[in-house]
């Protein structure tokens, strides 16, 4: 249950996590960082000349900056991203592909109507109707076409479901040379410029040698951006970010990012956002102490993290040095390095400690064992310290293996099993998942069941024995979990099911053997980007009153969720394609499956699509008429703005403890 870039490009260095987010948005950023595709394209005359003329007059070969330069100007970025021509055939193939994929999306029907979501409204999106509009539109270039598909799915605000642009769009970022933050001052929400990084200033001046930019702006309040009041400008920008249904969470991504202090307004990934409309951004500033006002402006600078060869521009060595200087910044953004899954801070207050869970997913073969060991060791250390308060920091957690999330809950809260612990019993038994029942999913479920009956050792995509009935608690042995489904608020769905997590539970010690904590002493915090498995994890804690919850950022005096995009479970179209292509080789089965099976575009630029495959119901209410957890606004107990710099965790933890104590 981790987010991915969906409809992924065919390129080395990027693969789909098998549970998916880091995000939509974070996974996309990490994907861009992992690509090392740069190749120098030499362009020049093909006409031969006498050797002595070549020795004297031959000019050096032209350089394609799109593939060879770490840093680009706005015009260069614009050219790099818009140079691929529009292909009508590919567009039509993509439209047909999505027409067959989207019926598998569990929220396709429910998304057709406006939905109230706490203080906000989720706008309706008729996916099939919007595909018709794309089909009828001729685009100026490939970038415009890609943005049309991306924007359509992005409007779902579901980080599990997105159109991934092809490889040439990966690795580009548009940068402003400043960072901003959102804080409260004198009862008002204000936008303020953070400290200025000297390496960013040096980079800006190297790319814009004739500009006389004013960088004496740290600590100044931003009154307006391009003539629009700052909060309004950022709110409008955040509407197009996607990923989260909570407007406050999207605002955080725009202003302060996942947890790095560098939001998407000033650090824009081109795999998600289009090239900025204007070369320059104009900021009207006011000094908070003196009231002095001034106007500054900065051109966009572009970064290409794909290029891994020596920069061949005239200032290649200088830019390479600048890139090295900025790399610490990029590590902070987790582009080149990720934090450990588990971090423990033994003391942030005389009576408090912090357990940070950064992800529930990892690629190391020992990850799950190490995760369990690190969690239990940290909690044993906390118990030994005799401290009372524990902050569970889930800021920026992208999700991961759902059973690992349930196993962590089971260990954290031994009281959930009152006379236990019982073998295999845990929070997963409270979950109600459903899969969309379509012509294709019914055919696939039936074939998976037949295959498993023929050879029980063959596990297929929709094999029935992986599922248990939420009503009878019995394991399914045939396809009736899908074929005898239910009519729900989401449309025609499978029966309510869950999967076993007993194997993951066994990786932890017995719940209650060492660690116990009262709800009054546990505080869960996030800035809203706690997704997928993390969202299921946090929502379970809230539903059962196991801790206080604090949401950071968002809008002043507006409730905010501590989690986002719980979805249910991510799926891949490739799972259907793998089984479907086997069926196409059998004449009797081919006639059944071919009308419904998606086919990837023939251009070879795409290999898969990730989407929300299973829904999960709100805790303690899995009825067929109840909207899924994805559409349920669950506000945190406390919603507070950042006390200052969003990377100053000492101040943040102090503010979180103070907020929790106010209940």
Q: pLDDT tens digits for 397-441?
A: 989 999 999 999 999 999 998 888 999 999 999 999 999 999 999
Query: Residue 12 has what pLDDT?
Result: 26
Q: What angle do CA 464, 467, 469 make, to 5 degrees?
A: 115
Average pLDDT over residues 291-306: 94
Query: Are residues 305 and 437 both part of a single domain?
Result: no
Q: What is the 3-state secondary structure (H, E, C) of 282-317?
A: EEEEECCCCCCEEEEEEECEEEECCCCCCCCCCCHH
Average pLDDT over residues 89-118: 98
CB 1 within 8 A of CB 536: yes
Nearest to 12 by CA among 167, 145, 137, 165: 167
Look up residue 128 and give its two tokens: 């099939």
Query: Are residues 370 and 460 both part of a single domain?
Result: no
Query: Residue 62 has what pLDDT?
Result: 65
CB 199 within 8 A of CB 185: no
Average pLDDT over residues 534-544: 98
Q: What is the CATH number of the domain that holds 245?
A: 2.30.42.10
Is residue 285 a part of any domain in this protein? yes
Per-residue pLDDT band for 69 (boundaries 50, 70, 90) equals confident
Strands 188-193 vs 180-185: parallel, antiparallel or unpaired: antiparallel
Hey, is 475 helix, strand or coil?
strand
Query: Residue 198 has what pLDDT?
Result: 86
Q: What is the CATH number of the domain that holds 530?
A: 3.90.226.10
Is residue 17 a part of any domain in this protein? no
pLDDT digits (tens, 9 = 90+) for 473-507: 999 999 999 999 999 999 999 999 999 999 999 99
Is residue 43 a part of any domain in this protein? no
pLDDT digits (tens, 9 = 90+) for 606-638: 989 999 999 999 999 999 999 999 999 999 999
Query: Residue 59 has what pLDDT?
Result: 52
193 has a pLDDT exceeding 70: yes
Nearest to 259 by CA among 170, 172, 358: 358
Query: Residue 34 has what pLDDT?
Result: 32
Is residue 130 a part of any domain in this protein? yes
CB 543 within 8 A of CB 618: yes
Boundary residue ending a domain (167, 199, 227) = 167
pLDDT digits (tens, 9 = 90+) for 226-242: 999 999 999 999 999 99
204 has a pLDDT exceeding 70: yes
Query: Are residues 199 and 277 both part of a single domain?
Result: yes
Per-residue pLDDT band for 90 (boundaries 50, 70, 90) equals very high
Query: Are residues 297 and 274 both part of a single domain?
Result: yes
Query: Residue 599 has what pLDDT?
Result: 95
Boundary residue ending a domain (332, 364, 379) = 332
Query: Residue 25 has what pLDDT?
Result: 41
Hey, is 630 helix, strand or coil?
helix
Is residue 483 a part of any domain in this protein? yes
Query: Are residues 271 and 311 both part of a single domain?
Result: yes
Query: Are residues 399 and 468 both part of a single domain?
Result: no
42 has a pLDDT exceeding 70: no
Query: Are residues 279 and 157 both part of a single domain?
Result: no
Phi/psi of residue 219, nearest 5 degrees = 90, -10
37 has a pLDDT exceeding 60: no
Is residue 525 a part of any domain in this protein? yes
pLDDT digits (tens, 9 = 90+) for 307-357: 655 555 545 667 777 877 777 777 666 667 788 999 999 999 899 999 999
Query: Residue 321 has what pLDDT?
Result: 79
Residue 268: which H helix or E strand, with range? strand 267-269
Average pLDDT over residues 265-283: 95
Query: Are residues 293 and 239 both part of a single domain?
Result: yes
CB 493 within 8 A of CB 485: yes
Is residue 337 a part of any domain in this protein? no
Cis before residue 586, ω within 30 degrees of 0? no
Per-residue pLDDT band for 197 (boundaries 50, 70, 90) equals confident
Query: Residue 79 has what pLDDT?
Result: 96
Query: Are residues 233 and 289 both part of a single domain?
Result: yes
Query: Are residues 225 and 286 both part of a single domain?
Result: yes
Query: What does the mean pLDDT of the chain come to?
Result: 88
Boundary residue ending a domain (332, 350, 384) = 332
Query: Are residues 297 and 409 both part of a single domain?
Result: no
Per-residue pLDDT band for 386 (boundaries 50, 70, 90) equals very high
CB 204 within 8 A of CB 177: yes
Query: Residue 337 has what pLDDT?
Result: 74
Query: Are residues 186 and 317 both part of a single domain?
Result: yes
CB proximity list for 278: less than 8 A, separation 6 or greater: 226
Is residue 389 a part of any domain in this protein? yes
Window from 122-131, 147-156, 191-200, 635-644 with minimum mean pLDDT: 191-200
Look up residue 582 and give its two tokens: 């086997």
CB 631 within 8 A of CB 125: no
Query: Residue 28 has what pLDDT?
Result: 41
Average pLDDT over residues 366-373: 98
Query: Residue 199 has what pLDDT?
Result: 86
- Top-confidence residue, 119 or 203: 119
pLDDT digits (tens, 9 = 90+) for 7-36: 333 322 222 233 443 444 444 433 333 332
570 has a pLDDT exceeding 80: yes
Q: Count the domains in the chain.
A: 4
Hey, is 97 helix, strand or coil?
helix
Nearest to 95 by CA among 517, 599, 574: 599
Q: Which structural domain, as residue segments, surrounds residue 654?
A: 342-413+511-566+631-661
């Amino acid at each position: 249950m981790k987010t991915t870039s969906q409809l992924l490009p065919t390129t080395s260095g990027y693969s789909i996590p098998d549970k998916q987010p880091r995000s939509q948005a974070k996974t996309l950023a990490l994907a861009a960082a992992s690509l090392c595709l740069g190749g120098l394209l030499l362009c020049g005359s093909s006409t031969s000349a006498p050797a002595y003329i070549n020795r004297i007059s031959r000019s050096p070969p032209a350089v394609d900056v799109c593939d060879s330069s770490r840093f680009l100007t706005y015009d260069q970025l614009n050219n790099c991203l818009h140079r691929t021509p529009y292909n009508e055939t590919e567009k039509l193939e993509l439209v047909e592909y999505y027409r067959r994929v989207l019926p598998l999306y569990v929220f396709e029907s429910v998304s057709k109507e406006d939905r109230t979501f706490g203080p906000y409204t989720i706008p309706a999106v008729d996916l099939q109707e919007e595909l018709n509009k794309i089909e009828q539109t001729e685009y100026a270039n490939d970038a415009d076409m890609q943005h049309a598909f991306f924007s359509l799915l992005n409007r779902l605000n579901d980080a599990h479901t997105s159109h991934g642009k092809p490889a040439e769009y990966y690795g580009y970022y548009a940068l402003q040379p400043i960072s901003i933050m959102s804080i409260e001052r004198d009862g008002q929400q204000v936008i303020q410029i953070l400290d200025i990084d000297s390496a960013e200033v040096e980079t800006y001046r190297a790319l814009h040698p004739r500009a006389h930019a004013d960088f004496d702006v740290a600590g100044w309040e931003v009154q307006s951006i391009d003539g629009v009041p700052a909060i309004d400008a950022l709110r409008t920008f955040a509407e197009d970010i996607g990923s989260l249904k909570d407007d406050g969470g999207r605002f955080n991504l725009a202003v302060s990012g996942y947890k790095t202090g560098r939001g998407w307004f000033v650090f824009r990934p081109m795999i998600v956002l289009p090239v900025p409309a204007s070369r320059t951004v104009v900021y009207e500033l006011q000094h908070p102490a003196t009231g002095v006002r001034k106007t500054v402006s900065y051109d966009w600078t572009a970064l290409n993290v794909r290029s891994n060869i020596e920069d061949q521009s005239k200032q290649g060595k200088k830019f390479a040095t600048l890139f090295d200087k900025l790399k610490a910044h990029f590590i902070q953004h987790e582009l080149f390095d990720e934090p450990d899954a588990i971090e423990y801070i033994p003391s942030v207050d005389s009576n408090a400690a912090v357990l940070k869970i950064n992800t529930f997913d990892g690629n190391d073969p020992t990850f799950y064992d190490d995760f369990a060991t690190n969690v239990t060791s940290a909690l044993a250390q906390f118990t030994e310290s005799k401290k009372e308060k524990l902050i569970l920091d889930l800021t920026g957690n992208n999700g991961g293996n759902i059973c690992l999330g349930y196993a962590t809950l089971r260990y954290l809260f031994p009281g959930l099993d009152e006379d236990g612990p019982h073998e295999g019993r845990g929070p997963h038994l409270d979950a109600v998942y459903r899969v969309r029942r379509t012509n294709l999913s019914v055919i696939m479920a039936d074939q998976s069941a037949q295959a498993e009956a023929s050879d029980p050792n063959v596990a297929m995509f929709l094999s029935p024995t992986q599922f248990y009935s939420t009503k009878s608690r019995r394991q399914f042995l045939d396809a009736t979990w899908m074929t005898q489904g239910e009519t729900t608020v989401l449309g025609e769905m499978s029966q309510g099911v869950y999967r076993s997590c007993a194997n993951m539970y066994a990786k932890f010690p017995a719940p209650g053997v060492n660690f116990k904590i009262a709800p009054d002493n546990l505080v869960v915090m996030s800035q809203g980007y706690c997704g997928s498995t993390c969202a299921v994890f946090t929502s379970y804690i809230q539903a059962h009153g196991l801790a206080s919850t604090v949401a950071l950022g968002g809008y002043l005096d507006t409730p905010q969720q501590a989690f986002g995009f719980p979805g249910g479970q991510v799926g891949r179209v490739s799972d259907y394609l793998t089984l479907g292509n086997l069926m196409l080789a059998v004449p009797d089965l081919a006639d059944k499956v071919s009308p419904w099976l998606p086919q990837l575009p023939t251009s070879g630029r795409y290999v898969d699509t990730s989407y929300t495959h299973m829904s999960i119901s709100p805790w303690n209410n899995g009825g067929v008429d109840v909207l899924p957890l994805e559409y349920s606004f669950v506000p945190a107990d406390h919603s507070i703005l950042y006390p200052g710099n969003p990377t100053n965790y000492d101040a943040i933890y102090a503010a979180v403890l103070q907020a929790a104590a106010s209940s």
